[in-house]
Structure 1
Amino acid sequence: MASLFFTTPSTNGTSGGGDAVYVAAVPLKAAAGPPQLVMSMAYSLNLKNLQHFMVLIKPSSPIRQEVIVFDFQPVNPESIESAILILSGKLIPGVVMQRKLKNVPRQKCWMVGSSKENDAMEMAIEFNKSWETDLRVGFHDCRHYTNELVQHLTGETQIVERLLRSYDS
C-alpha cells in the first residue's frame, strides 16, 4: 500500500473504532479503437489528473472480510459515445458501483481514517440511495462522489483535492 496519507488522528474525530476508509486512484482507461483515440486526445490537451477515484471500506471486524469498493462512473465507460460526451462536458448516465476486493491495493491507495459509525457499509449504501446518477465531468463525477462519500463516512472534507495537492508536492 502507498504510504498512508494521514499519519496522525484526524481533528474531526474520525479516529474512532469504526471501519477503515481508504481512497484509491487508478488511471482512466479506454477500450482500443476510437475511445482510446479520444482519451489520447484528452492527454494531448494536457488535461491534468485523468484518474478515477474510489472509496474503499475495510470492515473492522476481527473476522477476515473482503474490502468493499464504491465508485461512480459512466454506465458505458468504454464507449465512444460516452468518451465524446464526457469530453464535450455533457451529462451522461452514470452508475454507482459496489464490488469486493480481497485486499487493500498497495499503490495509489491512502487511508483516510475510520468511519464515524461502526457499519460504514450500511452508511455507504444509504448514501448511494440519494446520489444523483447523471454524471458530468468536472461538476458531478467520481471526484465529487469520493469527496462526499468520504465526508459522510468520516467527516473529512475535500479529500481528493488534498490528495492531489500532496501528490503534486
Structure 2
Amino acid sequence: MAINLPGNSSFTAPGRGRDEIYVATTPLRATKGPAQLLMSAAYSSQLVESSAFHAHHQPSITSASPPSNCQCFDFQPQDPENIYVALAALSGRAIPGNILVRKISKIPKKKCWYIGSSKLSNAVEAAYKFNSSWQTDLRLGHHDCRHYTNGLAEMLIGKKNVLEHLQENQQGMDY
C-alpha cells in the first residue's frame, strides 16, 4: 500500500471522488557486463541516482467501482540498456529520451508514495498535454526523470519539488 507523508498537512490523505497521484521508484536498468559495471560505479560514486522516478495516476474511485485504468507516466532514455547511451549520459551530454505512458492494473505496493489528489478535472488529459510540451532530450541531473516527475506532479497537484519533499520527510527511504 502506498504511504502518506507523516506530519505534513500539505499532503492530504487519498480522497474519494478525485484522481489520486503517486510517485514511485524503480531501479535503473543496464545490460549485464560493461554497462552494468559502469552504472554501478556511477551509483557508488553518487554521480547518478540509483532509482528512476515516475508518476502514477489512479482515477477517482467511487464505492461502487474498484481501482482500474491506472497509468504510469515515465521519462527515460530511448535505449536505457545501451553502454554508449550510458557513457554519453554520465559524461553530461544530452541523449534522446522517451516519454512512456503505460496502463497498469494497480498502483504499486512497494516504493510508491501518495503525493496528493489532482486539482484538475481531467488529470490524464492534462498529463498528455504536459507530455506534448516536454523536451525529450534527457540530460542527467538537469533534465531527467526527477525533473519530469516533479513537473508533472506540480501541474497535477499544485505542489513544487515533491521528490525533494519526499526525500526530506521520509526516514530511511531507499533511493
Residue among 100, 109, 114 paired with 1:111 = 114
CA distance in 1, matches of 2:103, 2:167: 25
Aligned-pair identity (%): 44
Shift in CA distance, 31/168, structure 1 to aligned 2, threshold 3 Å: farther
CA distance in 1, matches of 2:70, 2:8: 23
Partner amino acid, structure 1, of 2:74: D
1:40 aligns with 2:47: no
Shift in CA distance, 84/11, structure 1 to aligned 2, threshold 3 Å: closer
CA distance in 2, matches of 1:124, 1:27: 23
- Structure 1 stretch 44-53 or stretch 147-156: which is displaced more? 44-53
Residue among 142, 150, 153 paired with 1:139 = 142
Partner amino acid, structure 2, of 1:81: Y
| Residues 73-92 of structure 1 aligned to structure 2 (within 5 Å) | 73-92=76-95
CA distance in 2, matches of 1:38, 1:16: 45
TM-score, structure 2 as length reference: 0.86
Question: Gapped runs of 5+ residues in structure 2?
Answer: none
| Residues 50-61 of structure 1 aligned to structure 2 (within 5 Å) | 50-61=50-61
| Residues 88-103 of structure 1 aligned to structure 2 (within 5 Å) | 88-103=91-106
Runs of 4+ in 1 over 2 A off after TM superposition: 5-12, 14-18, 46-49, 61-64, 166-169
Q: Please give the per-residue CA displacement for 1:26-79, whole angstroms capped at 9, x wherever unaligned.
A: 121211122111112213324463210000000004344221000100000010
- Kept after mapping to 2: 8 A contact 1:147/1:158: yes
Question: What secondary structure does 2:170 align onto?
Answer: helix
Shift in CA distance, 93/76, structure 1 to aligned 2, threshold 3 Å: same
CA distance in 1, matches of 2:83, 2:121: 42
TM-score, structure 1 as length reference: 0.89
CA distance in 2, matches of 1:111, 1:58: 10
Q: What is the total number of aligned residue pairs between the two structures?
A: 168
Question: Gapped runs of 5+ residues in structure 1?
Answer: none
Shift in CA distance, 93/48, structure 1 to aligned 2, threshold 3 Å: closer
CA distance in 2, matches of 1:7, 1:59: 26
Shift of 1:7: 6.7
